[in-house]
A and B are shown apart, each in its own frame.
Chain A
């Protein structure tokens, strides 16, 4: 049963490697936007430190949203998606493989880049660990939930706006708990609460999102 999963994961990573320029877009976006913040707001370290958790999380969320739109697009355009939908293997597993590949090429690099950008925004030392832990789980949740929206809008000609509208409300808890974990840690409070909620969100979306996405794709394909 796992062979479809492995085949898709390997193929998607190979495709990502071939289209490196395109795939690097969200990471570059994240980098550029966060770099612009001190220029646009203030270079003052104390004020930057105040807004750093929020800025980092909002930008990571937007970067993820930007990239999730393309999750099923190329497969839809070249007919691969149709083949997957009529494949005898479970669609949710193959969808999960695509989501995992998406997280590996966007969520993981965003998470790894975040501490560097945190330094640029003079994030206090206490904030780094919760930032990385939160993003590690949070970006996975964003990929999982975003996939549902991407599945629903894949057959639409201009699904981008609709995708944002569908997905944004789902993204909000991730943003709230992710940013508050960093903020609490900076303020000297325990971060177990928000991080535990984030873990719960991850567990829940891991269970639900692949099935919901598979259903959404079937609906889209039956047009």
Chain B
């Protein structure tokens, strides 16, 4: 895999969720969520639609603030040391941030600039490894949903962030794409990285930790 042997990640980063709760429009979406992540962990958030998987992941990305509870990154409070935490995460949300009028290569170039990726990998190599060979220079609006999703996954190859937060990363991609992404996750975990993802799919990765998110029926 492309990632192998590129660099080593820092020792034992650790994320702790300390009784996280989230409240929207006066109703409690979830509460008391306690989790911890260690190097090499892949955590799958499970649950029916609308239970708050995306919300939980957005809280992890700091795009949303939890109503109660806190996040600890390597022992320090994320709310107070947000900058440090943000340097260590890679968030692929439900909306991928793919510019439709740009080609996969142009999108990738922009991500490499913003992530300050100076790795010697060529753009064609990265996109080729994601099965976009021959589609590098076609505007994204002309690509299929699955191909667009693959173009988005290129971001995972140009970041050194140890914590990946992926919201439904398997949407719209084919079997080969699923296998490729699983391979990426395995390599990432093996190098000491961590991943939190929401998906309804059964992952072909050994040692996946599963976290079933349960709806909170309580009304505040």
Contact = CB atoms under 8 A, between A and B. Distances in A.
A86 B87 CA distance: 9
B12 interface: no
A47 interface: no
A189 interface: no
A87 B96 contact: no
A36 B102 CA distance: 37
Given A3-B116, A86-B63, A14 B106 contact: yes
Interface residues of B, number: 26
B91 A19 contact: no
A88 B62 contact: no
Nearest to B155: A83
A157 interface: no
B53 to A, nearest CB: 16
A104 interface: no
Interface in A83-135: 83, 85-89
A111 B99 CA distance: 29
Interface in B82-101: 83, 86-87, 89, 91, 93-101
Main secondary structure of the interface of B (DSSP, over half): loop
A87 B114 contact: yes
A79 interface: yes
A15 to B, nearest CB: 6
B33 interface: no
A70 B65 CA distance: 27
A221 interface: yes
A18 B141 CA distance: 12
Interface stretch (A4-12, A166-174, A197-205): A4-12
Interface string B44-66: 00000000000000000111110
A153 to B, nearest CB: 19
Given A18-B101, A78-B100, A79-B94, A88 B87 contact: yes
Which of B65, B86, B114 gathers the greatest number of chain A CB atoms within 10 Å? B114
A78 B110 contact: no
Contacts of B63: 82, 85-86, 221-222
A222 B95 contact: no
Given A78-B97, A80-B97, 9 more contacts: A6-B113, A15-B101, A74-B99, A79-B97, A82-B93, A83-B91, A86-B63, A88-B83, A222-B64
14 contacts: A7-B110, A7-B114, A8-B114, A11-B110, A11-B113, A14-B102, A14-B106, A15-B101, A78-B99, A80-B97, A80-B99, A82-B91, A86-B61, A86-B91
